[in-house]
Amino acid sequence: MKAFKIVTSTCIPLAIDDVDTDQIIPARFLKATTREGFGDNLFRDWRYEADDTLKAEFILNNPVYKGEILLTGSNFGCGSSREHAAWAIADFGFRVVISSFFADIFKNNALNNGLLPVTLTPETVLQLLKDCSKNPDLSLTIDLENQLVIRNDTNDSFSFEINPYKKLCLLNGYDDLEYLLSQKEKTAAYAATLDDWRILKR
């Protein structure tokens, strides 16, 4: 996994609540067997008409807004557990998603792919959505080490929470699997104690 330390970028403001993973990447695009290329179909049905022409009114199609930070409404990533949603967002070029809160599975999936979900208060997110919409050049700095989001126009900063273990993983680019593999002996010792009924006999 790619390490994450600091990102400074303008934002794309997507002022919609309850964005579910079916909108992020519709199920019909889940048939690939690799992790690459999902960005092409990110927000497919919001970005494109049925005949594949761009929907000009959708924010991702507005050339004025660019950047590595997706700024969005509350309950982002709800619904299906598809990790393809996190892959699509990262593949499109985002490195950070800011919301007032995230669905649990999406949050884990994002963290497992070096995509940083940043939770700020609803008031802060609303203000940022408003200000970024008005001023597409407004840039933010996301400083993971110090757990801060800094507005580069006003120098206001907002702190965010992250699990200390997950923070360490992101800063160093470690993934959970490496850690779990290092626990092999402990797992084997645990597995040796399983009650008979817990073992599946087929």
Partner 1 sequence: MSKTLFDKIWQKHIVNTIPNGPDVLFIDRHFIHEVTSPQAFDGLRKRSIPVSRPDLTIATADHNVPTINQHLPISETLSRKQVEMLTKNCAEFGVELYGLGHQYQGIVHVIGPELGITLPGLTLVCGDSHTSTHGAFGSIAFGIGTSEVEMVLATQTLLQAKPKQMRISVEGELNKGVRSKDIILYILAKISASGATGYFIEYAGSAIQSLSMEARMTICNMSIELGARGGLIAPDETTFDYIKGKEFAPKGEVFDKAVSYWKTLHTDSVAKFDKELVFKAEDIEPMVTFGTNPGMGIKISENVPGSEHLDGSGKENFLKSLKYMGLSEHQAFVGTPINYVFIGSCTNARIEDLREVAELVKGKTKAENVTAYIVPGSRQVRDQAKREGLDKIFIQAGFELREPGCSACLGMNEDKIPKGEYCVSTSNRNFEGRQGPGARTILASPLTAAATALTGKLTDIRTLFV
By CB under 8 A, name the binding residues for partner 1: 15-18, 20, 22-23, 26-28, 30-35, 45, 50, 73-75, 78-84, 86, 101-105, 108-109, 112-113, 126, 163-166, 175-177, 179-181, 183-184, 186-187, 190-191, 195-202
CB closer to partner 1 out of 26 and 136 = 26
Minimum CB–partner distance for residue 187 and partner 1 (Å): 5
Q: What residue has token string 């923070």?
A: 167
Alpha helix (H) ranges present in the chain?
21-24, 44-47, 84-92, 104-111, 122-134, 164-172, 176-181, 184-191
CB closer to partner 1 out of 67 and 73 = 73
Minimum CB–partner distance for residue 36 and partner 1 (Å): 10
Structure tokens at 128: 């940022």
Instruction: Determine the residue type at 79.
Output: G
Minimum CB–partner distance for residue 139 and partner 1 (Å): 23
Closest CA to 114 of 173, 178, 162: 173
CB closer to partner 1 out of 152 and 167 = 167
CB closer to partner 1 out of 24 and 69 = 24
CB closer to partner 1 out of 101 and 158 = 101
Minimum CB–partner distance for residue 8 and partner 1 (Å): 27
Q: Which parts of the chain are beta strand (E)?
A: 6-14, 69-72, 96-99, 116-119, 139-143, 148-151, 157-159
Cα torsion 116, 117, 122, 128: sign: positive
Question: Cα(68)–Cα(70) distance, rounded to whole angstroms?
Answer: 7
CB closer to partner 1 out of 62 and 163 = 163
Minimum CB–partner distance for residue 89 and partner 1 (Å): 13
CB 159 within 8 A of CB 185: no
Task: Give, to the nearest 10 degrees, the angle between helix 164-172 and helix 104-111.
Answer: 30
Question: Cα(161)–Cα(165) distance, rounded to whole angstroms?
Answer: 12
Minimum CB–partner distance for residue 190 and partner 1 (Å): 5
